[in-house]
Amino acid sequence: MAKNIVGIDISDFSIEALALEKRKNSFRVESYARFRLSPEIVEDGRILDKQKLKDAILKMFANAKPVAFNQSRKVFLSIPESQTFSRVLSLPKHIKDKSLSKIALDKAEEIIPESIDKLTAVVKILPASEKHKHVFYSAAETEVLHNFISVFKELNIEVAGITTETISSFAGLKINKDKKNILVLDLGARTTIASIFTKECLCSSINIDIGGDNITKALVKKLNISYNQAEDKKRQVGLSPDGDGETMLVAQGQLQPLVDELKVFIKYWQDINKKTIEQVVLVGGLSQMKGADKYFGDNLNVPTQLGQSFIDVKDLPDGFAFSKYINALGLAKLAHKGTDIDFYKKLPKNKKDNKNEELEVKTKKSKASKFSKNDRILITIILILFLSVIAIFIFRDKLTSLIYKDKQPIVQEEIVQDSESEQAVDEEEKVTLKIEEPIVVSSVEYLGKDNFILGELYEISVDRNIINPELNYADLLTALKSQSNVDILHELNKEYDKEDYYTIPQFLSYEVTQINPPEVSFIAGNELTATVLYSFLSFKELDLRNILVNKNPVIKDRITSIYYGILRYEQASEEYSFDLEAIAEYK
């Protein structure tokens, strides 16, 4: 079955398709094809023009090489990370394994901004740690899934599975088995997807709106050249110090904000999980830019390499551009080996295949015709009553939780009793209770949004200096900015925090307002000083306390401490928004 399945990667600008032939202990690329898309067909993983997309798919299949795709083909698809929500959920250790999936779905519903009814979700139970059980949760918009499925149905092509782009790309890579925690950077034209994989699963992923187009547009503007010339310079010179120095500096300037966000992402994940990122793997079109692996390796201080195919070079066709087919290659591999994260399997069956749905309806009509009208009414009533009883029995826990949802706080209780005490049970026990709530903090007010706090933009100006005789002026300034960005996050809540406020430890923007001396007066080996203005988002701790107390009055005047964790950060123009997870401890 799997040998007829084609992995298809549909992005904003192109479609790649690939089929694998399974050998005894390896794979060989059997067929592959690529077709460029015009901008108005797909945007950010959403189909804008279904007919043009169908035409493009047919043309691509017709151009497959070295042999045509099998006529009885099926397809395995992926959707971009921008259309999914994925996270590892940590749950109390005492929860029984058979209840983990259900509780994970309930917990995810609390923290996802999208309506849960519009999503198709998949959960995967992971190995437990000392104190918690862990579940990987991933959800995609059902409408997006149906739109892709309908395209292939209209082409009479069956869909075999749908997963996330990050998971399929990772499946296409050759991975060093000695590395346990790997950061994969998918450097695209518009965005960069940063994903952390452990041996168990995809653990964390963020989408950063910085990609190759940023560099191209900056080169066009600053060097006063055409778009095609800028693309050539980006590809041929890129980040290499041996090439055009001006091009290198422009490219570095556009990638610096990306590096800054990656450092915050890495540090946060390492601090929370008490683990270390051991390797960075670069994929995507921008990864092929000259010097990209060295640049990210030096700036992130983690061994970095370009992604390599899991298939031996000798089994790849001559002239095969692996970097362009990595996702399709991973999808074709998953078609053979399968994946736990398959949204297609979770869709209702009557939504998957119209032919099956029509056949089912015809079968029901045929059976119904054997009974009289009164018989059918009686049978229907009996079936409804029977199914109602079963539904009440199966979902009794869910119904109970809905009845009491607004009456009882969601708590996790840990009782710590003095082991040396031999007093009776009525002696005072030491009790710690925790309540978890998702909180949204934004600089722009959202009317009617639950758990919302209106934050305040907070600016910090700092002076920094650097001396390094081996660096020129431009490189010194780049190093100074990078070091300043790291320093400000380390020092934020120690030196600069406002009284009675909590400042979210991720800067929204930064600007170098003053440099001394200017470049024309600079002498190699001298000190370079810069003043950097940072923008942060703060909120009153009292506002957060009030939200927790209003939802759970029992903890009023009993809170001893509050902890925060960033779930997600979004920026739209001058509007900034954070999703936080707040944990209040009280007695």
Concatenate the DSSP letters of all residues of 206-232 into one string: EEES--HHHHHHHHHHHHT--HHHHHH
Query: Measuring CA to CA, which residue among 113, 89, 107 is closest to residue 451?
Result: 113
pLDDT in tens, 474-496: 877 777 777 677 677 666 655 66
Do the two domains 1-174+312-370 and 176-307 of this chain adopt the same fold?
yes
pLDDT in tens, 5-42: 899 999 888 899 999 888 777 788 888 998 888 878 98
Q: CATH topology for 1-174+312-370?
A: Nucleotidyltransferase; domain 5 (3.30.420)
Q: Report, as an integer, the average pLDDT of 385-390.
A: 55
Check: pTM over 0.75? Answer yes or no: no
**pLDDT for residue 149 is more than 90:** yes
**pLDDT for residue 326 is more than 80:** yes
Query: Measuring CA to CA, which residue among 289, 290, 329, 292 is closest to residue 308?
Result: 329
Q: How far apart are CA 326 and CA 511, in angstroms?
A: 37
pLDDT in tens, 334-379: 988 888 889 999 887 654 544 444 434 444 444 444 445 555 555 6
> What rounded mean pLDDT belongs to the chain?
77
Contact present, 202 and 196 (Cβ < 8 Å): yes
Q: Which of 82-96, 207-221, 566-580 has the highest mean pLDDT?
A: 207-221
pLDDT in tens, 278-312: 999 999 888 888 889 999 999 999 999 998 888 88
Integer CA distances (angstroms), 69 to 20, 61, 73, in order: 10, 7, 7
Query: Is residue 548 helix, strand or coil?
Result: helix
pLDDT in tens, 257-286: 999 999 988 988 888 788 899 999 999 888
Query: Is residue 359 helix, strand or coil?
Result: helix
Contact present, 38 and 56 (Cβ < 8 Å): no
How do the domains of the chain map onto residue ranges? 1-174+312-370, 176-307, 373-407, 431-586
Side-chain half-sphere of 497: how many Cα atoms within 13 Å? 17
Question: What pLDDT is stored for residue 401 in this prediction?
Answer: 35
Give the count of beta carbons closer than 10 Å to the beta carbon of residue 195.
24
Q: How confident is the model at residue 395 (pLDDT cuts 50, 70, 90)?
A: very low
Give the count of beta carbons closer than 10 Å to the beta carbon of residue 219.
26
How many helices and strands, by DSSP H and E, does the chain display? 16, 24
- Residue 525's Cβ-count burial label (10 Å; 0-12, 13-18, 19+) is exposed
Where do the DSSP E strands lie in 269-315? 279-283, 304-306
**pLDDT for residue 524 is more than 90:** no
Contact present, 239 and 252 (Cβ < 8 Å): yes
- Structural class in CATH, domain 176-307: alpha beta
Q: 212: which residues sit within 8 A by CB, 6+ positions away?
A: 187, 188, 189, 234, 285, 286, 289
